[in-house]
Amino acid sequence: MAGATGSAGAAGQLTRQLNAMPDGGQRRPLTLSIIGCGKVGQALGRLWHERQTFVLLDILNRSTASAQRASAFIGAGSVVADHAGLRSADIYLIATSDDQIATCCNALAAAGKLQPGSIVFHCSGALSSLELAAATAQGAAVASVHPIRSFADPQQVAGHFDGTWCGSEGDAAALAVLGPAFSAIGAQSVEIQREQKTLYHAAAVFASNYQVTLIDVAQQAYVAAGIAPELALKLIEPLLSESAANAFRLGPATALTGPIARGDLATVSRQYQAVRQWQPRIAELYQQFAALTTDLALRKKISKPGKP
């Protein structure tokens, strides 16, 4: 894994520190502070607090009010006004928007809160742990752990996190701690290559965000054909859910149905012309998907050489 050899000494130092501080015969719990405690930070913070994985120390947000709301949602965490007010923690989660991760890490390092043995990580899907270079420079172990799911509703996420896949990369020292921590709240981990992080995230965008866009396009087409918007969604739902279920069960090539899979190019041509007359821009999308679907249909045919 990219970065797997980094800060290995820090892992050993942290382990020795924890083993040297027994509490009633138990290793002392690791401490965590969250910088930028929005939807992701709130959901993860609540899960780790409820499962007693970490002791949550501090929460730092842009506004005191939002930090107080985050603390109330999690049920733990003291609100601080700036990086200087953070207490020394074993682990720092920077859960800000992507464009603020490096800036907050720089501020954390400048505040003198990091040392060899510290762990700093973020949960961005698009950015790698290289965004945390300022922490690395001070001997901290860094990582990125990306839960592959939507966080639109932290309450819902916290109640249904079991089984969530998380793409992780970074220093072995950080992952040795974060892997078990995410497992403790029901996550499953998949290791990714640091240099492939952007392509990895693009795959998630195809599977999630663009799927919603396709639903919107299909709804628009139904409405243009005279179907009420609410009814259009009801027509789309079984098509989408059954196609997805078949693709996951059988694989995309085997699950493919429809005119292209049947070789009915006349229907495809008529549909393209109808869409072009309705919305030329969407017709371009239809054409591109038809080409990709033709490739998929060929793979289906190759996988079944005995079929006519």
Looking at per-residue pLDDT, the higher value among 263 and 21 belongs to: 263
Q: Look at residue 300 in the predicted model and tell me its pLDDT.
A: 84
Q: Give 180: exposed, middle or buried? Use CB within 10 Å, 0-12, 13-18, 19+.
A: exposed
User: Counting Cβ atoms within 10 Å, is residue 137 exposed (0-12), middle (13-18) or buried (19+)?
Assistant: exposed
User: Angle at the Cα of 277 (from 275 to 281), degrees rounded to 5?
Assistant: 65
pLDDT, tens digit, 9 for 90 and up, residues 66-79: 999 999 999 999 99
pLDDT of residue 28: 81
133 & 27 share domain: yes
Q: Are 61 and 73 in contact (CB under 8 A)?
A: no
Is 2 part of a structural domain of the chain? no
**Which class for 65: exposed (0-12), middle (13-18), buried (19 or more C-beta within 10 A)?**
exposed
Q: Which of 173, 194, 215 is the last residue of a domain?
A: 194
71, 76, 82, 83: CA torsion to nearest 10: -140
Domain count across the chain: 2
Name the domain boundary from 166, 194, 222: 194
The whole-number pLDDT of residue 25 equals 52
Predicted confidence at residue 304, as pLDDT, reads 65
Residue 159 CB contacts under 8 Å (≥ 6 apart), including other chains: none
153, amino acid identity = D
What distance in Å separates the CA atoms of residue 278 and residue 236, rounded to the nearest whole number? Answer: 19
* Structural domain boundaries enclosing 162: 8-194
Q: Do residue 52 and residue 180 come from a single domain?
A: yes
Please report which confidence band the pLDDT of residue 13 belongs to, taking 50, 70 and 90 as the band edges. Answer: very low
Global pTM?
Answer: 0.81
Statement to judge: residues 115 and 136 lie in one domain: yes
Average pLDDT (264-272) is 98
Sheet holding 78-80, edge to edge: 78-80, 54-60, 30-35, 91-94, 119-122, 141-147, 165-170, 188-191
Whether 10 has a pLDDT exceeding 60, the answer reads no
Looking at the fold, whether 34 and 182 belong to one and the same domain comes out as yes
Share of the chain above pLDDT 70, in %: 90
Strands 22-23 and 26-27: antiparallel
Residue 21 is predicted with a pLDDT of: 45
pLDDT at position 60, please? 99
**Residue 175: alpha-carbon gap to chain centroid:** 16
CA–CA distance, 168 with 183 (Å, rounded to integer): 12
Q: How many Å apart are CA 228 and CA 25, to the nearest integer? A: 66
Residue 261 sits in a domain whose CATH number is 1.10.1040.20
**Amino acid 151: pLDDT:** 92
173-229 pLDDT tens trace: 999 999 999 999 999 999 999 999 999 999 999 999 999 999 999 999 999 999 999
Give the residue from 133, 161, 194 where a domain finishes: 194
Report whether pLDDT(1) > 70.
no
Q: How confident is the model at residue 26 (pLDDT cuts 50, 70, 90)?
A: low
Rounded Cα distance, 223 and 221, in Å? 5
Distance CA 198, CA 192 (A): 11
Q: Which residues pair with residue 32 across a beta bridge?
A: 56, 91
Quick one: 211 and 124 in the same domain? no
- Range with the poorest average pLDDT among 28-42, 165-179, 201-215, 293-307: 293-307
| pLDDT one-digit tens code per residue, 101-121 | 999 999 999 999 999 999 999
Same domain assignment for residues 220 and 135: no
CATH label of the domain that carries residue 181: 3.40.50.720
